Chain A
Amino acid sequence: MDPIRYYDIRYVRGTSTTITVENGDVESAGSNFFGKALIRVLGEKGWGYYCASPFDPDDQTAKQEYIARAARSAKRADVPEEIADVPYGTPRNWACSASEQAAVPIEEKAGLLLKMEAGARLPEICSTSARYSEQYQDVWFEDCNGYAANSSVCRTLFTISAVAARSGNMQMNYEQEAVVGPLNLSAYLGYGEMCAKRAVDLLDASAVSGGRMPAVLDPAIGGVFAHEAVGHASEGDAVRDGVSVLAGKLGTQVGSPLVTIIDDPSIHGYGYEPFDAEGVACGPTELIKNGIMHAYMHSRETLAAVGMETGDAGHARAEPGMQPLVRMSNTYIKEGDASYDEIISECKSGVLLIGSRGGQVDPGRGAFQFNAKYGYRIENGETTTMIRDVSLSGDILSVLHNIALCGSERKMSSGMCGKGQAVPVSDGAPHVYLTEAMVGGSGNA
């Protein structure tokens, strides 16, 4: 038998159902049934993984065979690895199984989605579509120490989009809500009209001419800023590997004293995990506290590698059948005490960026970029004309110092984060005022 220092098994089984409607018709409605187990073995020097699909949790013979296979793989590894001994914690359980939602016939959900989409068909709208998805996922975790945990979580989301056209000019907008637990579409029927109105408004918006200028971020794009600029660089694997500009910064001032950024898998957001992919339940980790680098997010492996006092385990996440990676869950900038009017007035001349179309970071270089759905120019301390296709980029270590005001109201937004594997996350912020940012746009100065 090959040497085994530790093993665990994470079996994920579930169903996801998606309904897509386009221009008033149900385009498709499909289901995916999945069931995969990852068997993970820590050998003398490193990990071996085996992904089994299908997997029968009651078949003890097959289980032993998979463990032996993963142990054989681990024998090939040659990097000394340790895993930190941490308490498993107590999962904070929200009502997420949503059995009442599962009982609602799919025809009824499709009908509501069509109704929401119909609300988007306003004058000048040439195309509408909407998507509804619900995923029921059951997780069983067990390790070689006899520890076992299981969870049942439902995630539900809808997206609605509209394309507006006028004299050869086309613009699009989309709105999305995503939650853990049930989501009753009938409460969101007004999203169709809201989405379409914004798409029509964008026909009159202009592209901004890029350059360095002050910027105000709304809660959605402020959340992406927290996620891209700080979250990824605070992941324990990037810190361990020396490819984060925040590595080695614990206890040092990395930003304005107004900045506190937290990641918390236990809150009732889209990134909620009762326990992580290593079976560990954790609460909030304050990454930056009053501008000082305070803690990193860790797996048991990166906590052992970087140091027990450098942060919290409980941040390992994985797609079904894939290896745990250090990931964010629900990440946010803590509220300050400025009012929205105060922030816009203080900015004087710059841009207000609203909504997120995604972002990306190179944590090693410390460079990030994200794109807003739209925004407004700020002139003489007031918002004026609408702008579109505007993005923002910066250096993590300088931009954090440029935060001069944080608003008093925070809002979270949901989405997916990719790092080789896609996991559900949420992020949020209050309105945030940056004294200087590099703003990108294709407009001519």
Chain B
Amino acid sequence: MPEFDLDAVLRAGEKLADETEVLVLTFEDLSLEQREMAVAAVSEHAGTSVYIRTVSGGRIGVSATSDPTRWEDCLAAAVSSAKLAEPVEGWKGLPGPAVLPAGDDPFDPNLSIDPDTASSLLARMNEGASVHPEARVVTAGVSLSKGSSTLANSHGVWYERNMTGISLGLDAIADGSTGYEYASSPFLSRIDPEKMGEKTAFWATASRNGVAVSTGRRDVVLSEHVVDSLILELFTEAVNGRNVLTGKSVFAGKLGETVADSSVSIADVPMDPKGNSMRRFDTEGTPASRCGILENGVLSSFLYDCKTAAQADTVSTGHALRGGNGATYISPHCLRVSGNVRDVTQEPCLFVREVIGAHTANPLTGEFSVEVANAFLMEGGEFVQPVKKAMIAGNVFEMLQQIDGVSAETRVFDGAVVPKMRIPSMQVIG
């Protein structure tokens, strides 16, 4: 397919709007799906997505397409969408060209998008899982991708970013007990397929023959997965500038107030070399920079894109990402959590490796009650007994004030580098 002509969109947009912006994402990916310990399917995909925004009189119009041949329809839709939108109060315009921070893209030049690379990763996961032969690997998958994005606007911004991605997933079962692991990274050297396979099979086998626990209060240690999917997910919603502006955040009006234990800090560090999504600029061209959100328990910043920053009479923090219809949404790039580092499983606790239903937590109030999976009673850092069935319940925002230590070891997810957390006296329903 011929290369997409961004200039053509900007030239056409010049006649129709005050400002025009086009973001083009091209990608190719290859996936292998494993069943019965062999490759069952191979998928290839290549494509281009185009996101167009126009601004006239502070009214922002958006549109997107996965079919670049329809960019003119897309531009026309953005222009008519702008007519319908309310003018953004205090709109200061799309960003102009700026000096971007130094640093690398999340791109591995050694990654080749080929079936042999993917097959080898699958085989290495299987090898890792074979350490626990009582577990049966059910399915596994490997996906390799490579792509680039170009952002251009009518103020002269023209930024490019290259990305690679490796995603691995594996699930196993042993006597009705299940285990699951997932990992992704832009860099091959950071993927450890053997360990993933071993851990998956371990969760399935070690969780068998669980015991019941009684209803009551217990100290709980949440795994990195649970901290990410439950605590950071709701925290991110509460510091989202749009939610703050529209009255959908419990943190609205609380900048400068203590909202967490004084040992806890959370910052977004877009260029963190340990992260998965290093970014020098966000999807509307604002240079990315470190943003301290929670400093020693005190709420110090919310996250904004250009539109919400204008409405809040502040500046964008560079947190615009792009949704399916072309509109921006606000999201962190690489959250770093710091706290009182200690051996969180040394003292007796209920360790919860996974929960079922994290997404059913109340994003406004922080209330949740979820089923645990791969949970264990632990003492002295050792697994003592798997727990068969239990729920944990609480309030994420209250838990931020009760965090009793974080682990030194962390796991890297797409938007965060996350430790385990110890929460004293949580409600456990057995």
Q: Name A residues whose Cβ lies closer than 8 Å to a Cβ of B.
A: 16-19, 22-23, 25-36, 46-51, 53-54, 69-70, 73-74, 76-79, 81, 106-107, 110, 126-127, 129, 163, 165, 170-172, 207, 210-211, 241-243, 245, 321, 323, 357-362, 364-371, 388-391, 393, 395, 438-442, 444-445
Q: How far is the CA of A70 from the CA of B1 in the complex (A)?
A: 18
Q: Name B residues whose Cβ lies closer than 8 Å to a Cβ of A.
A: 1, 32, 35-36, 38-48, 60-70, 73-74, 77-78, 80-81, 84-86, 115, 119, 136, 138-139, 171, 173, 176-178, 215, 246-248, 250, 324-327, 356-362, 364-365, 367-371, 373, 389, 391, 393-395, 427, 429
Question: For B367, what are the chain A residues with a Cβ–Cβ distance below 8 Å?
Answer: 207, 388-389, 442
Q: Which residue of B is nearest A161, CB measured?
A: B248
Question: For A365, what are the chain B residues with a Cβ–Cβ distance below 8 Å?
Answer: 176-178, 373
Q: Which of A29, A46, A170, A442 contacts B369 (CB 8 A)?
A: A442
Q: How far is the CA of A441 from the CA of B365 in the complex (A)?
A: 13
Q: How far is the CA of A10 from the CA of B168 in the complex (A)?
A: 27
| Contact across chains for A389 and B39 when beta carbons are under 8 A apart | no
| Contact across chains for B77 and A369 when beta carbons are under 8 A apart | no
Q: How far is the CA of A69 from the CA of B46 in the complex (A)?
A: 12
| Contact across chains for B86 and A27 when beta carbons are under 8 A apart | yes
Q: Taking the nearest CB of chain A, how far is it from the CB of B167, in angstroms?
A: 12
Question: For B67, what are the chain A residues with a Cβ–Cβ distance below 8 Å?
Answer: 33-35, 53-54
Question: For B138, what are the chain A residues with a Cβ–Cβ distance below 8 Å?
Answer: 241-243, 364
| Contact across chains for A241 and B139 when beta carbons are under 8 A apart | yes
Question: For A364, what are the chain B residues with a Cβ–Cβ distance below 8 Å?
Answer: 138, 171, 173, 176, 178
User: Could you jot down 6 A-B contacts, CB within 8 Å?
Assistant: A26-B84, A31-B325, A73-B115, A367-B389, A369-B371, A391-B391
Q: Which residue of B is nearest A365, CB measured?
A: B178
Q: Taking the nearest CB of chain A, how far is it from the CB of B386, in angstroms?
A: 12
Q: Taking the nearest CB of chain A, how far is it from the CB of B254, in angstroms?
A: 11
Q: Which 10 residue pairs spanning A and B have beta carbons closest together?
A: A440-B369, A127-B247, A371-B360, A30-B325, A210-B429, A369-B357, A389-B367, A73-B42, A30-B62, A49-B43
Q: Which residue of B is nearest A169, CB measured?
A: B365
Question: For A171, what are the chain B residues with a Cβ–Cβ distance below 8 Å?
Answer: 364-365
Given contacts A360-B357, A369-B357, contact A28 B85 (CB under 8 A): yes
| Contact across chains for B371 and A368 when beta carbons are under 8 A apart | yes
| Contact across chains for A357 and B360 when beta carbons are under 8 A apart | yes
| Contact across chains for A243 and B178 when beta carbons are under 8 A apart | yes
Q: How far is the CA of A370 from the CA of B360 in the complex (A)?
A: 7
Q: How far is the CA of A127 from the CA of B363 in the complex (A)?
A: 14
| Contact across chains for A79 and B369 when beta carbons are under 8 A apart | no
Q: How far is the CA of A48 from the CA of B74 in the complex (A)?
A: 32
| Contact across chains for A170 and B365 when beta carbons are under 8 A apart | yes
| Contact across chains for A358 and B65 when beta carbons are under 8 A apart | no
Question: For A358, what are the chain B residues with a Cβ–Cβ distance below 8 Å?
Answer: 357, 359-360
| Contact across chains for B65 and A360 when beta carbons are under 8 A apart | no
Q: Which residue of A is nearest B173, CB measured?
A: A364
| A51-B46, A54-B67, A210-B215 given; 15 more Cβ-contact pairs under 8 Å | A28-B62, A29-B62, A30-B61, A46-B39, A46-B40, A47-B40, A50-B43, A79-B36, A107-B84, A165-B247, A211-B215, A245-B176, A358-B360, A365-B178, A369-B370
Q: Which residue of A is nearest B398, CB measured?
A: A442
Q: Taking the nearest CB of chain A, how far is it from the CB of B340, in angstroms?
A: 24
| Contact across chains for A32 and B324 when beta carbons are under 8 A apart | yes
Question: For A393, what are the chain B residues with a Cβ–Cβ distance below 8 Å?
Answer: 356-357, 370-371, 389, 391
Q: Which of B44, B64, B136, B248 contacts A32 (CB 8 A)?
A: B64
Q: Which of B46, B73, B395 contacts A442 (CB 8 A)?
A: B395
| Contact across chains for A440 and B389 when beta carbons are under 8 A apart | no
Q: Which residue of B is nearest A33, CB measured?
A: B65
Given contacts A30-B325, A34-B65, A106-B84, contact A163 B364 (CB under 8 A): yes
Q: Which of A33, A35, A48, A360 has the most CB of B within 10 A?
A: A33
| Contact across chains for B42 and A48 when beta carbons are under 8 A apart | yes
Given contacts A31-B81, A210-B215, A367-B373, contact A163 B247 (CB under 8 A): yes
Given contacts A23-B247, A210-B393, A369-B360, contact A30 B64 (CB under 8 A): yes
Question: For B61, what are the chain A residues with a Cβ–Cβ distance below 8 Å?
Answer: 29-30
Q: How far is the CA of A129 from the CA of B367 in the complex (A)?
A: 21
Question: For B369, what are the chain A residues with a Cβ–Cβ distance below 8 Å?
Answer: 210, 371, 389-391, 440-442
Q: How far is the CA of A61 from the CA of B391 in the complex (A)?
A: 57
Q: Taking the nearest CB of chain A, how far is it from the CB of B7, in angstroms?
A: 20
Q: How far is the CA of A371 from the CA of B138 in the complex (A)?
A: 29
Q: Which of B38, B368, B393 has the most CB of A within 10 A?
A: B393
Q: Which of A165, A323, A388 contacts B41 (CB 8 A)?
A: A323
Q: Taking the nearest CB of chain A, how far is it from the CB of B128, in angstroms?
A: 20
| Contact across chains for B389 and A51 when beta carbons are under 8 A apart | no
Q: How far is the CA of A158 from the CA of B284 in the complex (A)?
A: 28
Q: Which of A53, A163, A368 contacts B47 (CB 8 A)?
A: A53
Q: Which residue of A is nearest B395, CB measured?
A: A442
| Contact across chains for B362 and A389 when beta carbons are under 8 A apart | yes
Q: How far is the CA of A26 from the CA of B429 in the complex (A)?
A: 44
| Contact across chains for B248 and A127 when beta carbons are under 8 A apart | yes
Question: For B69, what are the chain A residues with a Cβ–Cβ distance below 8 Å?
Answer: 54
Q: How far is the CA of A47 from the CA of B427 in the complex (A)?
A: 47
| Contact across chains for B364 and A438 when beta carbons are under 8 A apart | no
Q: Taking the nearest CB of chain A, how far is it from the CB of B64, in angstroms?
A: 5
Question: For A46, what are the chain B residues with a Cβ–Cβ distance below 8 Å?
Answer: 39-42
Question: For A47, what are the chain B residues with a Cβ–Cβ distance below 8 Å?
Answer: 40-42
Q: Which of B45, B60, B115, B327 has the most CB of A within 10 A?
A: B45
Question: For B63, what are the chain A residues with a Cβ–Cβ distance below 8 Å?
Answer: 30-33
Question: For B32, what are the chain A residues with a Cβ–Cβ distance below 8 Å?
Answer: 76
Q: Taking the nearest CB of chain A, how far is it from the CB of B352, in angstroms?
A: 13
Q: Taking the nearest CB of chain A, how far is it from the CB of B312, in angstroms?
A: 14
| Contact across chains for A110 and B41 when beta carbons are under 8 A apart | no
| Contact across chains for B40 and A33 when beta carbons are under 8 A apart | no
Q: Which of B1, B43, B247, B324 contacts A51 (CB 8 A)?
A: B43
| Contact across chains for B395 and A360 when beta carbons are under 8 A apart | no
| Contact across chains for B176 and A27 when beta carbons are under 8 A apart | no
Question: For A321, what are the chain B residues with a Cβ–Cβ distance below 8 Å?
Answer: 45
Q: Which residue of B is nearest A390, CB measured?
A: B369
Question: For A54, what are the chain B residues with a Cβ–Cβ distance below 8 Å?
Answer: 1, 66-70
